[in-house]
Amino acid sequence: MHPPRVHSFTLNGMHHPKLSDIAGIINKKYPFRLAEDWDNVGIQLGTLTTEIRRILVALDPLPAVFDEALAQHCDLLVTHHPLIFSPLRQITSSTSTGSSIIKAIRGGLAHLAMHTNFDIAGDGLNDLLAARLQLQGITPLKVSGHVELVKLVVFVPADQLEQVRHALCAHAEQLGNYRDCSFAAPGEGTFLPLEGAQPAIGCVGSLERVAEQRLELLVRRDRLTKAVRTLLAVHPYEEPAFDCYPLLNESQAYGLGRIGRLAAPQPLQELARTIGNRLGCRDLRVVGDRSRTIQTVALCSGSGASLLREAARAGADLLLTGDVKYHDAREAEALGIALLDAGHFPTEQLMVGAVRDFLIHSCQAAGYAVEVFGSRCEADPFHTITV
């Protein structure tokens, strides 16, 4: 399956982002800190201040993909799998990795990888896969942490409320399918400017009483610093009053894989055909009684057989993944859970179109002029031969 090539926008007055800007946009939605310890995500090649005009998105950092990006005159290649997994002892044209690095540097092509951070984050690859299967009640299969939330409270003159609210909502946490969530309540603020102060309202030595609004928003802990910087930049007061409250509320969990329920139970063989059609699979391998009824489905894109025990403990009837080995199949039989190997490529190729669209919309919202394309040269390396 080849994602259709999609251009973004070019509007008068918009400017080109830097490589660091694109990395920041991705990090905000799919934080690099979520990646597994063994992984290597983020900027792999490039200069942070390089202007980015054209971006190619692909699943794998293949030599052919680098050639495609250079032929398209792209400044940045974004892939799911990293080009550099472990330290390199040498960079020469005798290896595919070294050759790609040399070509990229000569052609001014930067490279960024969003691997397990994209697998783990909300609205990432495993959520895309779960949505493609139309699962309901989706939660992480193996929880590795929870999003830490802080309540940011600031006191704003009533006539400046909307200006401050609009600026801070760019940092506010999305609640389910709702964004720009905040709360405001009226009150009265008092202050007495001392010698040397330059008050936006009132005079030095005179007690002022101002009709103010208490504005509250939820912010992720790792975004708090930027939110406070924004607050200080847009607030009309010289010394705005604000509070940051750590919360003990149960927050959104994140982790590898997903588990959810089908809208209606299906026999394993029928469900396998449905999944194959939805993912465009050439071949499927199934472990378990094909007449078995499946209701609860666990999944992990790419290579996720290591989550078999978590899936069984969570009550899944089936684990969908790729790269299943013989001993994984035997373990699934012993655990009493069905196993469906749809392949590495088919369970991950959703990334290309999703990241392409995400970058288009996010760059547009940030006022950046950039073109974004999906790779057209990738295909599943495996073929099925009927004998």
The CATH code that applies to domain 148-246 is 3.30.70.120
Residue 123's Cβ-side half-sphere holds a number of Cα atoms within 13 Å equal to 12
pLDDT value at residue 146: 80
Whether the pLDDT of residue 118 is over 50: the answer is yes
How much is the mean pLDDT over the chain? 92
Q: What percent of the chain clears pLDDT 90, i.e. is strictly above it? A: 80
Tens digit of each residue's pLDDT (9 = 90 or more) over 184-234: 999 998 988 898 888 888 888 889 899 999 999 999 888 899 999 999 999
Same fold flag, 19-117+349-374 and 120-145+255-348:
yes
Task: Give dist(CA 80, CA 44) in Å, integer.
Answer: 12
Phi and psi at residue 136, in whole multiples of 5°?
-115, 155
What is the architecture, at CATH level 2, of domain 19-117+349-374? 3-Layer(aba) Sandwich (3.40)
Question: Are 330 and 311 a contacting pair, CB within 8 Å?
Answer: no
For the four alpha carbons of 301, 304, 305 and 310, in that order, the dihedral sign comes to: negative
Whether the pLDDT of residue 4 is over 80: the answer is no
Fold category of 120-145+255-348 in CATH:
3.40.1390
pLDDT band at 13 (very low <50, low <70, confident <90, very high): low
Q: How far is CA 289 from the centre of its chain?
A: 36
Domain spans, the chain:
19-117+349-374, 120-145+255-348, 148-246
Tens digit of each residue's pLDDT (9 = 90 or more) over 298-344: 999 999 999 999 999 999 999 999 999 999 999 999 999 999 999 99
Task: Give dist(CA 376, CA 277) in Å, integer.
Answer: 21
Task: Give dist(CA 326, CA 312) in Å, integer.
Answer: 18
